[in-house]
Amino acid sequence: MSTKENSFKKSSLMNILWDIQKKRRCISRDDMTKISKAFNISRIELEGVISFYHFYHLKHAGKYTIYLNNSIISKYKDFYRVKKAFEKEIGIKTGHVTKDGLFGLFETSCIGLSDQETSALINFNAFTNLTPEKVKTLISKLRQGESLESLSNFPENNIQYTPEENKTVFFKPYHQGNALKKIIGIEPDSVIDLIKASKLSGRGGAFFPTGLKWQFCRDNKSDQKYIICNADEGEPGTFKDRVLMNEHPGLLIEGMTIAGYAVGATEGTIYLRAEYFYLKNKLEKTIKKFLEKGLLGKNILGIEGFDFNLNIHMGAGAYVCGEETALIASMEGKRGEPTTKEFFPVEKGYLGKPTVVNNVETLCAAARILEMGLDNYLAIGTKATPGTKLMSVSGDCNKPGIYEIEWGMKLKYFLDLIEAKDPHFILFNGFSGECLSSQDFDREISGENLLAEHIQFQLNDPIEYARKMSAVGLRSGGAFMIFDKTRDLLPILKNITDFFVAESCGICVPCRTGNFLLNKKLHKIKLCHADKNDLEEIKEWCSIIKQSSRCGLGKTSTNCLLTAMLKFPEEFNKCLLAESDINQAFNLEKAVDNYDKIINEIETTYE
C-alpha cells in the first residue's frame, strides 16, 4: 500500500481493510499506521472504525478463522455439541487462537443459514448441518492441508413453495435483460408512476412506498445520484435475500439499473453483508456478463445518456448497518452509526448526494413488475398489498426454507404448509418483529392498515401498542421462527436481548442502557427472583426505549418482549417470587417495621 497522503478515497477504506485482513489474518499496528497516512485520517479515528465491526481483528485470528453461529435456532439444534467438538478437536476454548496460529474459534450471531443449522463460517466459507462427527473430519482434513473450498458446502436454496406459475413473481425462470428492455421508449417519470401504481413497498421491513422514494430522489436535482442495494440481511432468522441473490443475481442487477434510470443515478452499490462473502464472486461474474452484453456501462440498450455502473461494498458485521443511514456511513468509511435524519438519504445520502436505498427483494420485485406488466402483478395478492412475499422459515417444522406466498394467506394455512410441529411461540419478522401465539392463527399475512396502526401507537402505552399490533394484518419483513411447546419462552427472549445488547451501536443511552437493563430483568425472572414490580418496570423501560431511541434498532428492540408479555403472561407470572416455591417475596414494610417503631419511640422521647 502506498503511504502517500490522500491517495485513497475514504469510501474505499472498508474494502482495503478486508484485503489486508484476508492476507495477514488481522489488521496490525503497522498496517494501521500506513492506512491512517494513506487516507489522511488520525490513528484514533481509524481504530474507532475498525473496532466498530465484529469481523475486523487487531490480533491474528488464525489461518482458519471459525465463526460458529450462536443464534437461538442453532442452540435448539446441535450448537452445544458442535461447539464442544470444535473446542476438543482444535484444543482451545471459544474466543481464542491456537498457539501455532492455525485455528481461531469465535461465536457470532445469525449468519443467514437458519434453515441449515448448526452452521459456521470458516474464512467466510459456509459449513451447514454440522455435527460433532463432521467437525472431527473437517478439522482433521484441514490439518492435512486440504483446501477450504473443497470441504465447504455451498448453502442450499431450499425453495420449498411457490404459487402456481401465473402467480409466481420471484422464483420463476429468469431471462437476462427481459425486465430491463421494458424501459425502452418509456420516460423515467413513467417508470416511477408504474412502480407507484403497483403499490410496491420496501420489503426489508419498513414498508415505505418504493415509488414515492424514487420520486423524491428524482425530484432532488444533483450532478450525481446513487442507488444502494441493502444486502446486509442481518435480521435473525432471515435468509430470503441470500437465496434470491444466489438464484437470480441478474434480476437484482436489473432492478438496480431500472431504479437508476428512473431517478437519474449513474452509480450503484450492492452493500453485501460479510456473512455472504461466498456470494461475492457470483455477483461479480454476473456484473461482468451484464457489461459484456451492454446491459451495464455507457448508453445501456442503446439509449443515449443512460449510463449505470455497479460495484460491491462488503460489510464487516454490524446489525445496525441494516438501517439506511448507518449503512451509508459505513460505505463512507465511517463507524456504522445511524444519524438523526436531519436529511433523508433521498435528499442527502451517500457522499452528500441524493440516494435511494432499497432492499434486495424490493429491487427484484420492481424488475419483475416491469417484466410481467402492471395488471398481471396487481392480480396477485390483496388489494392493498399486491404481489407475493418471500418468507424465511426455520425452527420446529418439517420443511424449513424459503416460501414465496401471495399476500393474504392465513397464518394457520401457512403453518400447515411448512408442517409446523405443534406451534406454540412464533417469532415473526425476526427479533425486531413480534411474538405470535395460537390466538393469531386466523390473521392474514398482509398489510392492510398496519402502517397506520404502527404510526398511531408507536408512542403510546407499550402494551396497548402490542395489542394493536396483534389486531391487524401480519406485514412481514420475511422471517418465521417456529417454537413448539417443548421450548421455554424466557431463554428465547433472553437470547433476543443478548443480541440487542451486543448489536446496539451505543450512541444513544435509551438503546444502549435500556436493553442492558431489560436483559438483566429477564435473567432475574428466569431465576425466579422477580416480582410484579419488575414486570411493571419492564413495561416502563420498553416505552422509554421505544420513544427515545435514535434509530429503528432501539425503537423495535422491545417488540418481541412486549408482545410476549401480552400473549404469554403465564410464562412470566409462574416465575414471580409470589408464585414460585423457591423463595417468598421480600416484604420491605415488614422488614423495616421494627426500625420504624424504634425511630418513632426516639422521636417521641426527644419531643
Say how far apart CA 80 and CA 100 lie, in whole Å: 25
Say how far apart CA 516 and CA 407 lie, in whole Å: 37
pLDDT category of residue 457 using cuts at 50, 70 and 90: very low
Q: Grid coordinates standing for 298?
A: 455507457
3-state secondary structure of 479: strand
Peptide bond into 118 cis (omega under 30): yes
Say how far apart CA 218 and CA 158 lie, in whole Å: 38
Query: What's the fold here for domain 64-151?
Result: Glutaredoxin (3.40.30)
Residue 57 has pLDDT above 80, yes or no: yes
Q: Grid coordinates standing for 370?
A: 416491469
3-state secondary structure of 319: helix
Architecture of domain 388-573: Roll (3.10)
Mean pLDDT of 581-605: 64
What does the radius of gyration of the chain's CA atoms come to, in whole angstroms? 26
**What is the CATH code for 161-378?**
3.40.50.11540
pLDDT at residue 342, rounded to an integer: 81
Tens digits of residue pLDDT in 490-519: 889 988 888 888 888 888 888 888 889 888
Between 75-89, 94-108, 532-546, the lowest mean confidence (pLDDT) is in: 532-546
Mean pLDDT of 298-307: 94
Q: Which amino acid is at 318?
A: A
Domain 64-151 and domain 388-573 have a common topology: no
What dihedral do alpha carbons 572, 574, 578, 582 form, nearest 10°? -120
Give the position of cell 418471500: 390
Between 131-135, 169-173, 202-206, the lowest mean confidence (pLDDT) is in: 202-206
Say how far apart CA 308 and CA 213 lie, in whole Å: 19
> What b/e readout covers 8-24, taking b as 16+ CB neighbours within 10 angstroms?
bebbebbebbbebbeee
DSSP output for 392-418:
EEEESBS--EEEEEETTEEHHHHHHHT
3-state secondary structure of 386: strand
What are the extents of the domains in the chain? 10-52, 64-151, 161-378, 388-573
Residue 179 has pLDDT above 80, yes or no: yes
Q: Kindly report the pTM of this predicted structure.
A: 0.88
- Residue 599 to residues 176, 406, 551, 590: CA-CA distances in angstroms? 86, 71, 50, 15
DSSP output for 416-477:
HHTTBSSEEEEEESGGGSEEE-GGGTT-EES-TTHHHHHHHHTTS-HHHHHHHHTTS----S
3-state secondary structure of 575: coil
pLDDT at residue 547, rounded to an integer: 85
Number of other residues whose CB lies within 10 A of the CB of residue 374: 15
- Residues pairing with 317 in the sheet: none
φ, ψ of residue 13 in degrees (nearest 5): -60, -50
**CA angle at residue 398 from 473 to 568, to 5 degrees?**
45
